[in-house]
């Protein structure tokens, strides 16, 4: 069994190869890839390897996600009871958003999504709520990655998106008017951690025929307050909030009865 514990923090190439059951040359190529991406690094002894700091980052990200989910769950449940629509929790992961929790609407026609679904940030309310509060450099990185057109309503022009996000930051919540998926609308608000950084967001989503924009606007304050409650549970002090102007969701769909 391959093991790097507290007693032995480094393994030689041969030890790694024997531990994973691969030829040393194959193991060396794989280790080179891991080193390049920060998952492993050279040890103090030439030809030895240790775990990379990227693994610590991923571990901390997992712990943070678990904390957000635990603190957000009761708030999401109350929000679903009030709106009777599907509620989502998304965390910021690199330049995209990752759905980590959801509570489905009890109604027969509803939005179905999956925990673990990754989505472009510019095509949904839950994503735009995050984008509106990113530092300018991170926002620019997202824009530079590209703004694919997901529907006829998707904001794909960088200038228009920036102006839209500035309005979202001032208002405190975002609206998705069939921008990520035809026939689906949602309203979302950002979640901040104890440092005041945006780390996640929540949204209420449903079929467009049941959710006119006027209803989403009316729910905006409710969703914002729910997000603020989660932020407070993470140690965020609301007065420290300083909004800054600023992957494809094909997994969301309407579920209809058979």
Annotated domain spans of the chain:
11-51, 58-255
Q: What is the mean pLDDT of residues 89-111?
A: 90
How many C-beta atoms surround the C-beta of residue 164 within 10 A?
A: 21
Q: What is the pLDDT of residues 18-29, one digit of tens each?
A: 888 888 888 888
Q: Phi/psi at 86 (nearest 5 deg)? A: -70, 135
DSSP 130-181: HHTTS-HHHHHHHHHH-----STT----HHHHHHHHHHHHHHT-EEEESSSS
Residue 65's pLDDT band, with cuts at 50, 70 and 90, is: low
pLDDT at residue 137, as a whole number: 94
pLDDT at residue 39, as a whole number: 78
Beta bridge partners of 253: 112
- CA nearest neighbour of 188 among 142, 177, 22, 50: 177
This prediction has a pTM of: 0.71
pLDDT at residue 57, as a whole number: 60
Q: Specify the CATH number of the domain 58-255.
A: 3.30.450.40
Between 191 and 109, the more confident residue is 191
CA distance 204 to 171: 17
Residue 7 confidence (pLDDT) above 60: no
CA distance 99 to 212: 24
DSSP the chain: -----SS---EEHHHHHHHHT--HHHHHHHHHHHHHTTSEEE-SSTTEEEE-HHHHHHHHHHHHHHHHHHHHHHHHHHHHHHH-SEEEEEEEETTEEEEEEEE--SSSSEEE--TT-EE-GGGSHHHHHHHTTS-HHHHHHHHHH-----STT----HHHHHHHHHHHHHHT-EEEESSSSTTEEEEEEEEE-TTS-EEEEEEEEEETTT--HHHHHHHHHHHHHHHHHHHHHTT--GGG----------S-EEE---
Q: What is the mean pLDDT of residues 38-66?
A: 71
Residue 30's pLDDT band, with cuts at 50, 70 and 90, is: confident
Cα angle, residue 256 at apex, residues 129 and 210 outer, rounded to 5°? 50
pLDDT at residue 64, as a whole number: 59
- CA nearest neighbour of 123 among 181, 167, 205, 163: 181
Q: What is the mean pLDDT of residues 206-217?
A: 96
Q: Phi/psi at 37 (nearest 5 deg)? A: -100, 5
Residue 129's pLDDT band, with cuts at 50, 70 and 90, is: very high
pLDDT at residue 210, as a whole number: 96
Exposure on the CB side of residue 175, measured as CA atoms within 13 A: 17
Q: What is the mean pLDDT of residues 55-75?
A: 73
């Amino acid at each position: 069994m391959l093991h790097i514990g507290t007693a032995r923090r480094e393994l030689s190439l041969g030890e790694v190869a024997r531990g994973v059951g691969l030829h040393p040359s194959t193991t060396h190529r794989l280790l080179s890839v891991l080193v390049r991406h920060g998952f492993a690094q050279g040890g103090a002894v030439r030809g030895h390897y240790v775990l990379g700091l990227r693994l610590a980052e991923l571990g901390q990200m997992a712990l943070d996600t678990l904390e957000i989910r635990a603190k957000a769950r009761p708030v999401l449940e109350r929000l679903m009871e009030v709106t009777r629509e599907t509620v989502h929790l998304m965390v910021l992961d690199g330049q995209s958003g990752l759905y980590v929790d959801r509570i489905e609407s009890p109604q027969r026609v509803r939005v179905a999504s999956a925990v673990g679904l990754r989505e472009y940030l510019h095509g949904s309310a839950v994503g735009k709520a995050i984008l509106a509060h990113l530092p300018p450099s991170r926002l620019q990185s997202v824009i530079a990655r590209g703004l694919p057109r997901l529907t006829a309503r998707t904001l794909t022009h960088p200038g228009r998106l920036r102006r839209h996000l500035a309005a979202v930051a001032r208002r405190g919540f975002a609206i998705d008017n069939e921008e990520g998926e035809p026939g689906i609308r949602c309203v979302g608000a950002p979640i901040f951690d104890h440092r005041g950084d945006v780390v996640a967001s929540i949204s209420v989503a449903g079929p467009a025929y049941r959710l006119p924009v006027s209803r989403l606007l009316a729910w905006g304050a409710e969703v914002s307050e729910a997000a603020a409650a989660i932020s407070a549970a993470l140690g965020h002090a609301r007065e420290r909030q300083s909004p800054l102007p600023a992957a494809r969701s094909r997994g969301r769909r309407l579920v209809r009865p058979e």
